[in-house]
Structure 1
Amino acid sequence: MDLFSGTISNLENGLAYAAVKNKTIAQNIANNDTPNYKAKDVSFKKMLTEAQNTYIQANRTDQRHFDFTTKNSTPGVYSYSNLRYRENGNGVDMDKEQASLAENTIFYNALVDRINGKLNTLQTVIKGGN
């Protein structure tokens, strides 16, 4: 039985996306002065596609069965290959990264608030409305 018709799992997936995006932004900011570093970003569409392909698991009971393998890379993360902001080849735009970090933090906090609301509702139901 699914208590919230998948709402909690959808919010959980949103939190996973926000966490990956936050990690990627933090890496970009940390490598602001690294020569030839190419800025990375996270695409929800790519992350969803790769997640659907990555989590397929199969039990091989015969040598003739296909082997399903998973990727070790972080889903949805990609580099800007030919982007340069400075003469040393670095592709990090600090203003863009800081704005993206602020936007992602707001998104993450909104998801956490929504999950807290769902869990508080469940707690109220369990306690009988008290």
Structure 2
Amino acid sequence: MPLEILLIMVIGGVSAVAAILHLSGRSAQTVLSVEDARAEWHRHFPDDVIHQVLIAENGHAALVQTEGGTGLLWAFGADTVARHLIDFDVFETGTGLRLEFHDFGTPGVSLSLAPHERADWQQMMIPS
């Protein structure tokens, strides 16, 4: 088979799969409830004991208070990412907060938070 035809078939196939997933709603960003956040946190850290969960107003992030300290859970497309809040910098942005982790394996995350949420979240992120 000529390379040109193979490339067209591969690119067309991948594009078709992506379009089908998007049109069927499987690419929508996860919206968390308290129960979902608990379940997702335990999926990432099964041994953690959760004391409290605070969901962002838009449902795309949650602060999780555990025995070991505070953690952040955020939506990453249809999945979630969870990190313990250790060794990071937080910056206020026009739409919320930006966290930069000092771990090269963890990318920074921008959280969309309502203005009245920002101060509470920043306060809860401070290690005790």
Q: TM-score, normalised on structure 2?
A: 0.22
Q: TM-score, normalised on structure 1?
A: 0.22
Could you say which structure has the higher strand fraction? 2
Could you say which structure has the higher helix fraction? 1
Which of structures 1 and 2 has the larger relative contact order (alpha carbons within 8 angstroms, sep 6+)?
A: 1
